[in-house]
Every structure is written in C-alpha cells, then in structure tokens.
Structure 1
Amino acid sequence: MVRELFITASDGQAMPDKAIPVWALKRESLERWKKEQAGSAARWAEMQRFEAEAGRVLLLPGDGGSIDGALLGLGDGTDAFSFGALPAALPPGDYRLCALDGMNAPLAALGFALGAYQFTRYAGKKKEFPRLVLPEGVSLDEVEREARAVYLVRDLVNTPACDMGPAELEAAARAVAEAYGAKASVITGDALLDENYPMVHAVGRAAGKGAEPRLIDFSWGRDDAPKVTLVGKGVCFDTGGLNLKPGNSMGLMKKDMGGAAHVLALAQMIMARGLDVRLRVLVPAVENAVAGNAFRPGDVLSSRKGLSVEIGNTDAEGRLVLADALAEADGEEPDLLIDMATLTGAARVALGPDLPPFYTDDDGFAEALAAEAATAADPCWRMPFWGAYEGWLDSKIADVSHISDGAFAGSMTAALFLRRFVEKAGTYVHFDIYAWNPSAKPGRPQGAAAQCIRALDRLIAKRYG
C-alpha cells in the first residue's frame, strides 16, 4: 500500500500561484517581516503574540472566513524539522513556502512529509492533511524516497509484537526485497543448527510455534560490484529471558527489532537509488521468551565463528544473534559492513535518546559520516572501540564472555564483543540506536524514530555512486 505523503511537485496538479503562502520565520526575522507586511497580517501577528517560537503555526485570516496565509516559527533555526508542525496545524488545501528564512528547502519539505505521518492500524481515523507544493528545485523523488524509508521504520517499530513477531518481520523483509527484485532466503527453527547459526537458535528457541527463530537473508545487485552488507537486530520482543526484565523495562520491548527495521529501510533507499553495489541484508529474527528450553545465565554457547561464548545475562541477547550474523557477513569480505541494533541502555545514559553512538576503526568513514549527518540533520556520535576494556570480556571457562561483570561502559563492551566476530570486512561500523522518540517534536511524533539511515544513505551514495 502506497502511503500518502501530502507533498506534490510544483509542476503537478497543484498550481503554485494558487497555493496558500506560508512564511517561515526565525525570531530575528520577525520584525523585518512585520515591516514588509505592514497591515492587517502584521497587526494580527502582534495581537496573537506570535514570537516565531519553533514549531508554532499562526493562521492569517482573510475575508469571509478564508485563510490568506500562515506563519511558521523557526525559533533560532536550529531545528530543521520545524516544518513538521505544519500538517497538523493547517486546514486542508494546497500551500507553498514563500519564505524559508535561510532554511534547507529539501529538509523543509521532508519535515512536512514526516509531520504528516499517521499510525492508525489499531485506532483512530486517518486525517486528511494539507498538501505542500514543493519549493522550486526540490526533487519530489528524493523527498519521497527518504520519507518512505522513515515511514517504514516507524510502521515496523510501532507495531506491537502480537503482529510483528519473527514471521511478520520476515514478511516485511520479503516485501522490501521483492519490490526491487532482490533474492531472499530464510533459515528457520532447528535448521539454524544444521546451517551453523547456534546463537540465533539458542536465543529464539523458547518462543512458541509460529515465532521460531530465523535468519532472514536477501541480496541485490551484480555479484562483482562493491559489497555493502547490512545486519539488523531483529529481536521482536525481549522479555529478558530467564533474567526477566521488570515490567517498566519491558513495556517498550516491541521496539527491540528497531535495528532490523532500520537496515530494511536503508536497503530500500539504496535499492531505490539504483546504486551499483552488491547489497546484502541479514536479519536474525527472534523472540527472547521464557520457557523450559530457554538459554540460561552461565551457559556456554558455540557460535558460527567457532568462539565459545559464556552467557552472563540472558537480557543481553541482541549481541548474540548479531554475532552469528556478523560472522556470516564477514566471511564474504564486504567492502562495508554495518550493523544497527537497539543494543544497550548504556548508550542512552551516555547520549540520550536523540543521539545514537556509532563505533568504527575507519577514521575516514567516521569523518565523512559526521559531515553527512550534519547536512542531513540526522545526528550520530562516534564512540571508541576502547581496547583497554577488551579484558573485561574474559571468561574463565570459554573463549569470551558476552558481557562484562562490571557496571561501566556497557555500550563500549557490547561493541567490543561484536568486533570479535568481524575480521575481513574493509570497514566495519556498529550503531547502538534507540529507535524511539519519548516525546513529540515537529515532524517526529512520539513513538518509533528513524535514526542515522538518511546520513548513511547519502554517504553510501557518494562512496559507490
């Protein structure tokens, strides 16, 4: 089903000269606008005490109950997605941005489209939003490509585990693959043991019938093109296993497949671009459930790489399923290997919900990603693979422990554990994302959030375009 984005090109059905004007204004520009508009519009803004607060929308009344225009506050201009406040605040109709006050026009259009997102699968009636006529020079295809990727992440992560278990996540992955002619295969249940994915099997084996663990795998592009491989954590619900989470920590665990949602959306963006890469996507999809056959603290698991892994806590299951998938991906020696996962609470303590950390030994990639993140208003922050902490993963009975026994540097030690399963990739990057907005902001409703994929898409396009 194609979702309505409520945007249209200026040469489309909507006529720009007939669309209702919207002035986007920073605080510093408000007085100038009032002088230029000396008349009823300026007086109305004064009466309504409009001060160009970020995300505030003020309708400018016309004759007979009509609307002559609208003002959008940008505050200090640091939030590129202030334009996301417009869809919910404007009545239906066609609108045009007649003043951007120095803001990035493609991001303004994207913000509008993201502000029109609705998740109404279970309740609520779909709202008919206003439509934005894109500013001159803004590509409708590019805005749609990015918006649809964000919508995909939001739809998948917002869906509760009753309707987004391993089987449903497989169906979503197959739909993305089939839309672009990618070749998909899935290894399910005990076949994971036959094919040597023992940790994916161990984490997911306690789930009920229909929610069996599986490794989702699809490839796209010519075989001899540069290899770009994406691995996404697909824990569709995480009870914590036998180290059961308390109720207040379990409430958001439908989002623990956020890494999978992100790599599917990033893959969709890459394939839609038609980049000349050999793209591979691997998603270990499991439910970390509680049953008599659940894996236990103190167990030692074998891994695809051949390392034995001592289990310190069954609530640190994501890195286990990722490790088997990373070992498989690394065996092909990809030019670029990226994993994305809602992995640790420690990352949120360090950087909060909006700023996901990433880890890589490739300085050039890190610098280029930081530049793209700034341009795309898609923030992330580099953290170190701090070698001094490698010893914290030592085990007395196995090759490695999957967690440290201390309370420090949880995100770093998780990253160090994962790096043990990657040796041959040209560049390896690990993202510890949150995939959730705790509170609503313009263009970013409370709920599922897409993080870093637009910056990554732009960087991958520059590297392999």
Structure 2
Amino acid sequence: MPDTLLNTSDTTPVPITLVAESDFEAWRNELPELSQQWVQKSQFRGRGQDIAWLPDAAGAPTEVAVGWDGTESLATLGGLPFRLPEGVYALTTPVSDLQVLGWALGAYRFSRYKDSEREPAQLLVPEGNDASMLADTEAAITLVRDLINIPAGDMTPSRLADEAVQVAETHGAEYRLVVGDELLKEGYGAIHAVGRAAADAPRMVDISWGDPANPAVTLVGKGVCFDSGGLNIKPASGMRTMKKDMGGAAHVLGLAALIMSRELPVRLRVLVAAVENAISGNAYRPGDVLETYKGISVEIDNTDAEGRLVMCDCLALAAEQDPALIIDYSTLTGSARSAVGAEIAAMFCNDDDVANALHQTGQSSDDPLWRMPLHQPYRHMLKSNVADTVNSAASPYAGAITAALFLEQFVSKLPWVHFDIMAYNVRSRPGHPEGGEAMGVRAVFDYLSQRFAG
C-alpha cells in the first residue's frame, strides 16, 4: 500500500475545505453561484461526515467541502480515505496533528490475505503539522493492528517472539528469550503451565533499551496467541475471535516502538509472555496448583482464566527492578467489555496522580480510558483453601476487578497501570476500521512524554 500521508507530491492535490455546521451559511454565501447550486443539490450543511464536490467555472468538480462538528478528533478526517476517490488531497483549513492522524488511521486495511479493491486517498501533510511524529505514530498503530489481525495459525508463540525480536533489533535494544522448559528452570511456572500443551513451546521475551540512568518504565503484554479456553473449553462463539488474545503483547510492542523511535529519555523494559492455551494430554487442569515466579501459589479454578497467569510471572519479574512505573496491557476479561464496551480501555491504577494524568491524555488524544476501582474488599473472592490464591473467582460478579486484584498481588506496591482492553473494533467508524485496534497506546505515550520528556 502506498504511503497515506505525503510530505511532497508530483501531482496537483485536490483542495479540501472543512466547514463546520455553525459556519455553513457564511461559507456558502461566499461561494460562486454555480457552487452554491451544487451545495444545495448535494444537501450539504456542514454536518459531520458530509461531503460536497465544488465545481470550477466550467462545471467540473475540482474541490471538496467536508463537514465537521468543530471538535478535534480522529473522526474529522478518518472517514475520507475510502470515501474520496483515489488521488492526492490537500487541506485548505488548518488542522491539528490529531486530525491528520485520523486520515492515516482511517486508511488502514489488513490486506495480507486479500487484495484491496482500491487504494486509499492520500493526504499532503500541511506544513504546520509534525510529519515525523505522525509517521512514527501511524507505524506504531499499524504494527499493533497487523499483529492482532494475523490469524493464530501464522501468529504462533514463536512468530510473536520473532516480531518482538524484530522490534528490538530495529531500535538497537537488548533482548533475551526464555523458551520451553527453561521457563521452569528460571521459575516462570505459570507461563509454562499455560503454554505447555501447545505444539509451539511457550516463551518469554525480555527487551531492554535506553540509558540505565534514566527513569525505568516497564511494559508487560499478554501474548496468548490463541485461547481455546484449555480444558474449560470455550464455546464456538467465544473462540471465534481468539486470535486477538495476544493483543496485549501487540500493544506493548507498538508502544515500545513509538517510545524508541521518539527516543524518550527512559530506561525501557518490555516483557511479553507468548503462549497458546491449547488442549492435550499434558494441559494444565482445574484444581492444579501452580508455583509462580513471585513464590505465590495459585490454585486453578478455571483454565480459561489463563491470561492473568502468564501476566503474573512477568509482573513479578518487572517489580524486581523497582521501576518508576509498570504498565500492562491484556485482553483479560469479558467483564471489562460489559462495563465500558468495546471502544474504551478499562484502566486500573494504584496511583491517583498517574490515573488522573492518563485520563487527561486519553481525552486530549481521542484515545479514551476509563478508570475502574481496585475495590480491596473483593479480595475475599480470591481466597483458596489449598493455595495462596485462586486464579478465578467463583462469583459471577466483578470479574474485571477480581482479575485486576489478582494481578496486583504480583507488583508489590509499585506504581502500576493495568489496561483490560478489547483490542478489536467490532464495527468500522471513521479512523477505526473493523479489526485489530490499539487502545490506550497514544494516551500512554503522551503521558510518558509529558512526564519524562516535558
């Protein structure tokens, strides 16, 4: 696919003018009479997503008017790349980087297995916008989306680890892999247990980048490349989209790539547990007790609560270095989706200042987050009679909260943010095509930039 955002063009671009509904009358009255007639016939009123072509003196359409609601968001331009004919366009109206990014993100299509019917329209980046930042952000979001969209038959644990290694090598980062039974030797019993039944061995990727003297930030991603549910097998409807269950790993790799591309002054660490939760004769079972890296024993109530198991070993390892901040991403619970839907990232955080700042960057970047409570009285649901804790509460209530409380046991008292995300658009909307999606990546990057590079 050709570049969607262009710095230069050999062809004369088609002008695009943004028209807010509140400014419509004044704008229309300044048009030539022929253009006013075209606007009237097209029923264009400046409403969001309205489009009208304007003619030249000879009556040929040569300019586009686009309605918008006056707010800066991805939706302003996000629907245009496939609504406008192929070609190069240029804005006559000043816009923010966020609005230009909407064009780029709306132009995304996953075409690995199917040829696209057409190419997206291209936009000439206005001189006042940050083309370099836009390109790096688009690349990061594209990486997240691509990794999630690739089917599990191709996005195996070893392939996901290879993708992580490629991100590390591209940016000159150090990395190490712990694979198969080596996980047991190093104490990562939970990761090993979840992934041992699969044909492709479980593994953990540990990436480090940046000056050790800088503040340490650690990212942890759930990389369950396919989740059958294990012996507590999912129904067919619940298994259909489980290629996206490695979405947390995709998020931390995309965010890490953006951090390293922009050279934020942090000591970055990325931990990804890459497994498949499969079924075979040696699959872990309900009632088993696992020894984790932190030394906390976990009774297995349900093998379909596997994500928190691979995460807990990584979080315990992350906490050993006493970083300034730990951030994890995971497609962890249906309960979070029931609470906030598929378009908002559910956020748990044990630090009010961090949570409030993230909420603000989520709003300003059109990357919505919603804080959920770490309600400590619910810890009683995680009690076990045979181990230190249980991996899944028997209660049908507060599933996202109890999952977060389970993870909290492994981060000590360090500042920690946990994102429980959908990582998938169930419908297309401007700037957000159906399929794999990055949620909370831009909000977190903006927060880290303000905190550590501001």
The aligned counterpart of 1:437 is: 425
The aligned counterpart of 1:428 is: 416
Q: How does 1:201-350 map to 2 (within 5 A)?
A: 201-208=192-199, 211-350=200-339
The aligned counterpart of 1:161 is: 152
The aligned counterpart of 2:171 is: 180
The aligned counterpart of 2:134 is: 143
Instruction: Provide the rounded CA distance (Å) in 1 between the counterparts of 2:346 and 2:119.
Output: 37
SS of aligned partner of 1:261: helix
Residue type at the aligned position of 2:5: I
Residue type at the aligned position of 2:450: K
Instruction: Provide the rounded CA distance (Å) in 2 between the counterparts of 1:270 and 1:218.
Output: 13
Structure 2 counterpart of 1:453, from 436, 441, 448: 441
Q: How many residues align?
A: 453
Q: Does the aligned pair in 1 maintain the 2:220–2:328 contact within 8 Å?
A: yes
Structure 2 counterpart of 1:380, from 364, 369, 377: 369
The aligned counterpart of 2:46 is: 52
Q: How does 1:9-88 map to 2 (within 5 A)?
A: 9=7, 12-13=8-9, 18-62=12-56, 66-75=60-69, 77=71, 79-88=73-82
Unaligned runs of 5+ in 2: none
Residue type at the aligned position of 2:100: A
SS of aligned partner of 2:134: helix
Residue type at the aligned position of 2:376: G
Cα pair distance change 1:63/1:204, threshold 3 Å? farther
Greater displacement, 255-264 / 358-367 = 358-367
CA shift, 1:70, in A, is 0.9
Q: Does the aligned pair in 1 maintain the 2:38–2:53 contact within 8 Å?
A: no
Instruction: Provide the rounded CA distance (Å) in 2 between the counterparts of 1:61 and 1:148.
Output: 36
Q: Does the aligned pair in 2 maintain the 1:277–1:464 contact within 8 Å?
A: yes
The aligned counterpart of 2:185 is: 194
The aligned counterpart of 2:5 is: 7
Q: Does the aligned pair in 2 maintain the 1:57–1:86 contact within 8 Å?
A: no
Instruction: Provide the rounded CA distance (Å) in 1 between the counterparts of 2:67 and 2:428.
Output: 17
Q: Does the aligned pair in 2 maintain the 1:14–1:94 contact within 8 Å?
A: no
Q: How does 1:381-396 map to 2 (within 5 A)?
A: 381-396=370-385
Instruction: Provide the rounded CA distance (Å) in 1 between the counterparts of 2:127 and 2:353.
Output: 34
Greater displacement, 91-100 / 346-355 = 91-100
CA shift, 1:52, in A, is 3.2
Unaligned runs of 5+ in 1: none
Instruction: Provide the rounded CA distance (Å) in 1 between the counterparts of 2:3 and 2:377.
Output: 48
- 1:360-415 CA distance string (max 9 Å, x none): 12111111111111111111011111111111111111100111110111100000
Instruction: Provide the rounded CA distance (Å) in 1 between the counterparts of 2:238 and 2:47.
Output: 35
The aligned counterpart of 2:103 is: 112
CA shift, 1:116, in A, is 1.4
Instruction: Provide the rounded CA distance (Å) in 2 between the counterparts of 1:38 and 1:60.
Output: 10
- 1:221-252 CA distance string (max 9 Å, x none): 12222111000000000000011100011111
CA shift, 1:79, in A, is 4.7
Q: Does the aligned pair in 2 maintain the 1:232–1:339 contact within 8 Å?
A: yes
Residue type at the aligned position of 2:422: Y
CA shift, 1:73, in A, is 2.4
Instruction: Provide the rounded CA distance (Å) in 1 between the counterparts of 2:59 and 2:25.
Output: 26
CA shift, 1:129, in A, is 2.8
CA shift, 1:81, in A, is 2.0
Instruction: Provide the rounded CA distance (Å) in 1 between the counterparts of 2:257 and 2:2.
Output: 18
CA shift, 1:148, in A, is 0.9
Q: Does the aligned pair in 1 maintain the 2:9–2:124 contact within 8 Å?
A: no
CA shift, 1:46, in A, is 1.2
CA shift, 1:137, in A, is 1.3
- 1:147-205 CA distance string (max 9 Å, x none): 11111111000110011010110111111111100011111111110111000000000
- 1:321-349 CA distance string (max 9 Å, x none): 00000001111111110000000000010
Instruction: Provide the rounded CA distance (Å) in 2 between the counterparts of 1:246 and 1:220.
Output: 41
- 1:53-81 CA distance string (max 9 Å, x none): 43233333447785311122224647532
CA shift, 1:217, in A, is 1.0
Instruction: Provide the rounded CA distance (Å) in 2 between the counterparts of 1:45 and 1:89.
Output: 18
Residue type at the aligned position of 2:146: D
CA shift, 1:4, in A, is 3.8
TM-score (ref. length: structure 1) = 0.94
Cα pair distance change 1:246/1:125, threshold 3 Å? same
- Percent identity of the aligned residues? 45
Instruction: Provide the rounded CA distance (Å) in 2 between the counterparts of 1:293 and 1:369.
Output: 42
Q: Does the aligned pair in 2 maintain the 1:217–1:283 contact within 8 Å?
A: yes
TM-score (ref. length: structure 2) = 0.96
SS of aligned partner of 2:407: helix
